[in-house]
Structure 1
């Protein structure tokens, strides 16, 4: 089996803060763990055609260790005095530029491993996937970054697994196998791995369709359009990678990319491009543009108020149940009615006093202000 041609970009400041000095001391171990196929498709081994590490100037003391492991090192010191004083660097923008540049200049690469837990790299992940690259990132189990990258990246190395890889050793090869077993991924600290919220909505929608009977062609196209819109709501007005759309549509019953079991692929459409155009007719907010290389660019125009992360605010999901209207406690007319007196009493209770404010107020404007004639009489009396 041919090895994956991979590029490794390490955000040292970010990973070092989560793992500590053991990351440097056990550098050959976790590199071998990645090379032996950790978080790769079918445990396929990797061949790193380029390895780069980015750090602030204070970590330049580790240059020799990374040079010995075949890394190109980059000092990404900040330029603003305020950022220098706070220990920040410009590594994020440098990694972004290098990732896009390597995608265009290096031929034949299959995968890019961006070892960082910084959520700012989500747009970078999406752009690399548009080029057909497989993207692997890192994430912390204790904060939302692992779940976030699980929705966008093709593979996520959680920090617990990376720490376990510090003690990794290649298992001996069996005599009847060409290679040793792929490395074992340490389980998450949580009891169960978090599932994508989008795929949960897809599964719920599919269950509803099954309860109503086998979905027909019209229901399948309508459900597929809703799934693509939900996928595009994560990154509105941004291109959607083809493989990510296909993964989301796999939740639709009857969807497949190849002919089999007497079922036509692409929900009865000719190919992926034709299916996307059909979904665009179903929902005009799905914009499909054919590019010069005969591929299609898919963008979802999400309209309405959005939160800080660009997601819709106050707009219910088309895949979920309709929002429940708040129940208003309308008092019964009988309870609003005045109590009827019984034998001089009101249901055994003393009748409440009714305070009429009209007694304290003047009856009319003449009571409120004396007339001009009365004013003259009072003035003459005072003069006498």
Structure 2
């Protein structure tokens, strides 16, 4: 059998998105290993067939934070050098608004530019669970480019159908030494409830002011495709239960459903 031809590949990593998914599905230590040792998973990502990763880009919000199991806090900016040492160009994507950074937009624009300016690229690999990338994946396929997506193992059928290959975050976690265990807060699956929990945690960690409950629900729906109520509040049965599990956040009653506050804001008045 003739050897497979070498693929010329491009990799685009939505760092914040993947770290959040690994943290919720496999635990903070696996997420930290992903951030500190990119060579450990990058080699596995590239080795299934001959390929050269000609473009390697990592998009991150330098102000983001990751807490390990012992309570130590790491800013995403601290992981920049590890990715540069693995051959990545690191692109800062601070928040465009108080709840969303620019990574998905930058990735879509850069991937399209790479497709148009580098006709020799055979394959595009996206690491993100964001359903916003479906139009990009379809456009790349229409241009006769092979696509791979590294995403949550329960990514929706529409997203899965848009990519030639889907690699689950659970597989990525296994490359980093994760072994599935029936323990709360560290399991991929559960009908995507971990996604809802993680998004709520991310929203509140990034917020600068109390967050209106309807706005919280809308952002969760935009990012996960699920509603708070439809996910049974990430399996916790109530908004208050979800907020407690996500980080001890507090719901304050008020017009239109009230606001959600971080614990340190308990004495503040909600924003209009």
1:28 paired residue number:
39
TM-superposed CA distance for 1:45, in Å, is 2.4
**Conserved? CA contact 2:124–2:147, under 8 Å:** yes
Structure 2 residue corresponding to 1:166, chosen from 162, 167, 176: 176
Within 5 Å, give how 1:206-285 maps onto structure 2: none
Structure 2 residue corresponding to 1:150, chosen from 150, 155, 160: 160
TM-superposed CA distance for 1:107, in Å, is 3.0
**Conserved? CA contact 1:53–1:72, under 8 Å:** yes
Structure 1 residue corresponding to 2:17, chosen from 14, 17, 20: 14
Within 5 Å, give how 1:90-239 maps onto structure 2: 90-141=102-153, 143=154, 145-167=155-177
Q: SS in structure 1 opposite 2:176? A: helix
- Which whole-Å CA distance do the structure 1 matches of 2:137 and 2:37 have between them? 27
Give the paired residue count. Answer: 159
- Which whole-Å CA distance do the structure 2 matches of 1:139 and 1:73 have between them? 20
**Conserved? CA contact 2:36–2:79, under 8 Å:** no
- Which whole-Å CA distance do the structure 1 matches of 2:51 and 2:175 have between them? 16
| TM-score where L is the length of structure 2 | 0.55
Gaps of 5+ in 2: 23-30, 64-75, 179-187, 190-221, 223-272
Bigger proportion of residues as strand: 2
- Which whole-Å CA distance do the structure 2 matches of 1:146 and 1:139 have between them? 10
Q: Deviations over 1:331-379 (max 9, x none)?
A: xxxxxxxxxxxxxxxxxxxxxxxxxxxxxxxxxxxxxxxxxxxxxxxxx
Query: RCO (CA 8 Å, sep 6+): is it higher in 1 or 2?
Result: 2
**Conserved? CA contact 2:149–2:163, under 8 Å:** yes
Gaps of 5+ in 1: 38-43, 169-188, 191-307, 309-384
Q: Runs of 4 or more off by more than 4 Å in structure 1?
A: none
- Which whole-Å CA distance do the structure 2 matches of 1:149 and 1:46 have between them? 24
